[in-house]
Amino acid sequence: MEDAVRLDEQAFKAMYERGYCTWFSLYQTTAAENKTHPPWWDSMFRLDHPTFPKELAIDASFSNTALAKGTSTWKTSQGSCDLPSFDQEFFIPIASDSPVTLDISEQQQPASAFQPSLFEDDDHIALLVLAWTYILSARWAEIIPGASAPEYSNFEAEWDLGNTHCGVTPTSSTKLIIDLGNVGDDAARWWAAVLALEGGWNASIPSDRGDILHSPWSTNLISEKRFTLSRRSKSRLLPTQHPAASFPAALHYLSSYCELHNIAEQMHAALAATLLLPVARFDNRKIQLPTPQVRRKVPVEENIRKTSSWSGNLNQLDKLLTLSCNAVGTKALLNSVFFELSVECNICGTWLQGTFAFLDSDIIQDRHSLLRVLMERDVSLGFLWLGAFIIGAQTRAFQEARLGWWKIDLHVAAWTGTLMSFIQQPVSTLLPGTGEILRADECRLMYLSHDQSYKVAPLFPFAPFGSTLLTDANIDVRQHAQCGANHSLEYEGLTWRCLGGERIATLHLRKASLRAKNGNPECNNIFIDYDSLDNEDDDCSEMVTRNIFTWLRDEDGFPVAERAIREHAWIDNLDSDDDEPIKPGTVAHTVGFQ
């Protein structure tokens, strides 16, 4: 007897092969090392996202977080159709009650192991991440009303008062000398604050309850070695009461350090990692980075490579800052690479089995290769994956992806042009006389109609399988499936809740087209490892299928034509066992979740 929900073994195997081959093709692309591609950090300067307005109103009524809020507007149709646009509320956390823990240890693998072709000889990543936490926090304080700019504490990193000879790094189990070059007192004091183990600075905003909330990039630093600073001029103790560096000054100090050590790429990589710190806090995990491997600079003329000036790309840095605050949105972008539009709910687990059969295979010999494959799947999100690998956030992303248990964020998907869910695709045009509608299109129209029961989009990204008789669909679906207009979820713009009760429309009005995912599903004479193929263990497909059909039928129930689906073992949480005949002219909802 044919199964009403599950596909046969042949289709199961074919989907496994499709997942495996898609990612194998990405590996082949990265192995070819096409030098014509732009550098990976190019995507950091191109990814679109709205920015916080300076008049932003902050909801600080909570003791553990503060929120920025706004409303997005979505268009639903084009042509002669009365289906109206709708608004959707959203919020983004902009402060937290606890810093994320950053543990620097020699036990950790060097950051260069993730992408050795990107980094220079030494490893400065941990130092640069700490510098970026201050810089982003300083910019955050300029934007967020009520936030206090960074202030130095009484703690600072130690100084190499003996000025060890340049070019020689003393071996020590407790100290690591950091050469700052020829810097003035202001820059020296800033680095002393940034690298202080006890916490050399703080940027915060008070909640309405009086609690102190920290910037999203505040860290609690743990390190096996104390950082000892050195500079060209005679190192000396600096006055404790020193004015804290402004955002432009701190950005300049960082750029100068990177030019001194010729580590322009590491500067961008460290920014990518810092942008992922709120994700680590959201996942309730500490960050572990390797002890920096740095050498003293010999004071001779060198061919210094200039770093890209973020001071000249301030609007783009503000976009990344806003994105970084939204940990849920960032996680949704990371996991979007595992979505495939044409893969349906009842076989999505098989697609993921094939995906991870390749990603876990011996063909992927190291994390460097794995990262490059993930970056190739959606090049525009490559820098986020690099940041995730540096701070270890990829582990949780993989865990969620294997289970098919990741959320979507339609706001960040629209802002960045990222294809994240079947619900983003336009509704198919029905030909005259057609008596059925794809269930995927049925879901889209139900969400676009925005009835009270369908104001929230489906939780998971994979579409339902099959079709529904139009006579069995609800009134909104029947009406708009045949009204002749074009229907799709189209982002129109957003307004922020601002001070004085005003609502300010964002200047971010570009309607980004959705990027297709890279990867060729065709298998051309390659060996496929079937050891992970298990058509009996498909909890992922079962979970996603049950969820989407619950969303689809929860309000009106299952029609008689879907009796076999309703009675399937995967759809087992119903309260009614009785079918009722459909009355002519009424909505077909014979079996409900009462």
**pLDDT value, residue 581:** 35
Radius of gyration of the chain (CA): 27
Residues 76 and 113 in one domain: no
pLDDT tens-digit readout, 346-392? 999 999 999 999 999 999 988 999 999 999 999 999 999 999 999 99
Tell me which long-range contacts 306-315 makes (C-beta under 8 A, separation of at least 24). 306/259, 306/264, 307/255, 307/258, 307/259, 307/264, 307/267, 308/41, 308/45, 308/264, 308/267, 308/268, 309/255, 310/251, 310/255, 310/271, 311/248, 311/251, 311/252, 311/255, 313/45, 315/51
- Which strand (E) or helix (H) includes residue 61? none
User: CA–CA separation, 288 vs 280, rounded Å?
Assistant: 11
Residues 271 and 172 in one domain: yes
Handedness of CA 570, 576, 580, 584 (dihedral sign): negative
**Residue 25: inside a domain:** yes
Confidence of residue 567 (pLDDT cuts 50, 70, 90): very high
Confidence of residue 109 (pLDDT cuts 50, 70, 90): low
- Label residue 153 exposed, middle or buried (CB < 10 Å: 0-12, 13-18, 19+): middle
Residues 203 and 338 in one domain: no
Name the token pair of 102: 């950053």
Angle between helices 539-553 and 348-359 (to 10 degrees): 150
User: CA–CA separation, 520 vs 200, rounded Å?
Assistant: 50
Residues 422 and 494 in one domain: yes
> Which one is predicted more confidently, 54 or 305?
54
Does 555 have pLDDT greater than 50? yes
**Residue 396: inside a domain:** yes
As a whole-number percent, the residues of the chain with pLDDT over 70 amount to: 87
The answer to whether the CB of 419 falls within 8 A of the CB of 463 is: no
Residues 434 and 528 in one domain: yes
**Residue 192: inside a domain:** yes
Q: How many CB atoms lie within 10 A of CB 381?
A: 22
User: CA–CA separation, 273 vs 379, rounded Å?
Assistant: 17
Average per-residue pLDDT for the chain: 88
User: CA–CA separation, 338 vs 407, rounded Å?
Assistant: 12
Residues 195 and 109 in one domain: yes
Half-sphere exposure of residue 471, counting CA atoms within 13 Å on the CB side? Answer: 9
Confidence of residue 593 (pLDDT cuts 50, 70, 90): very low
Q: Name 332's Cβ contacts closer than 8 Å, sequence gap at least 6.
A: 406, 407, 408, 409, 412, 413, 420
Structural domain including 353 reads: 9-93+330-566
Residues 81 and 116 in one domain: no
Last residue of a domain, one of 313, 345, 379: 313
Residues 207 and 308 in one domain: yes
pLDDT tens-digit readout, 389-427? 999 999 999 999 999 999 899 999 999 999 999 999 999
Last residue of a domain, one of 313, 345, 365: 313
Tell me which long-range contacts 261-265 makes (C-beta under 8 A, separation of at least 24). 261/120, 261/122, 261/124, 261/179, 261/294, 261/297, 262/120, 262/302, 262/304, 262/305, 263/119, 263/120, 263/122, 263/124, 263/128, 264/305, 264/306, 264/307, 264/308, 265/39, 265/41, 265/118, 265/119, 265/120
Q: Are strands 100-105 and 287-290 parallel, antiparallel or unpaired?
A: parallel
Mean pLDDT of all residues in 499-518: 78
In the block, residue with structure tokens 């929230």:
456
Q: Name 352's Cβ contacts closer than 8 Å, sequence gap at least 6.
A: 19, 338, 401, 402, 404, 540
Per the structure, the count of domains in the chain is: 2
Largest CA distance in the chain: 93
Q: Please tell me the least confidently modeled range out of 26-40, 45-59, 538-552.
A: 26-40
Q: Quick one: how far is CA 310 from the chain centroid?
A: 21
In the block, residue with structure tokens 């008070």:
206
User: CA–CA separation, 414 vs 173, rounded Å?
Assistant: 50
Q: How many CB atoms lie within 10 A of CB 5?
A: 20
**pLDDT value, residue 120:** 61
Confidence of residue 37 (pLDDT cuts 50, 70, 90): low
Mean pLDDT of all residues in 35-41: 71
Residues 141 and 238 in one domain: yes
Last residue of a domain, one of 313, 343, 363: 313
pLDDT tens-digit readout, 215-248? 999 999 999 899 999 988 765 556 667 899 999 9
Mean pLDDT of all residues in 533-561: 92
- Label residue 268 exposed, middle or buried (CB < 10 Å: 0-12, 13-18, 19+): buried
**pLDDT value, residue 502:** 86
Confidence of residue 594 (pLDDT cuts 50, 70, 90): very low
φ/ψ of 381, rounded to 5, equals -105, 10
Highest mean pLDDT out of 296-305, 457-466, 564-573: 457-466
Mean pLDDT of all residues in 94-111: 85
**pLDDT value, residue 503:** 86
The answer to whether the CB of 320 falls within 8 A of the CB of 47 is: yes
Residues 307 and 350 in one domain: no
**Residue 193: inside a domain:** yes
**Residue 524: inside a domain:** yes
- Which strand (E) or helix (H) includes residue 565? helix 563-566
Q: Are strands 175-179 and 158-159 parallel, antiparallel or unpaired?
A: unpaired
Q: How many helices (H) and strands (E) does the chain have?
A: 17, 16
**pLDDT value, residue 535:** 84
Give me the amino acid identity at 335. N
Confidence of residue 116 (pLDDT cuts 50, 70, 90): very low
User: CA–CA separation, 125 vs 452, rounded Å?
Assistant: 49
Q: How many CB atoms lie within 10 A of CB 330?
A: 24
User: CA–CA separation, 292 vs 295, rounded Å?
Assistant: 10
Confidence of residue 38 (pLDDT cuts 50, 70, 90): confident
**Residue 215: inside a domain:** yes
Closest CA to 538 of 550, 546, 529: 546
**pLDDT value, residue 114:** 47
**Residue 391: inside a domain:** yes
Residues 302 and 393 in one domain: no
User: CA–CA separation, 4 vs 537, rounded Å?
Assistant: 18
DSSP alpha helices (H): ranges in 175-326? 185-194, 247-261, 264-275, 277-282, 314-325
**Residue 584: inside a domain:** no
User: CA–CA separation, 172 vs 441, rounded Å?
Assistant: 65
User: CA–CA separation, 529 vs 353, rounded Å?
Assistant: 11
> Which one is predicted more confidently, 511 or 16?
16
User: CA–CA separation, 350 vs 363, rounded Å?
Assistant: 20
Residues 425 and 561 in one domain: yes
Q: How many CB atoms lie within 10 A of CB 365?
A: 9
- Which strand (E) or helix (H) includes residue 288? strand 287-290
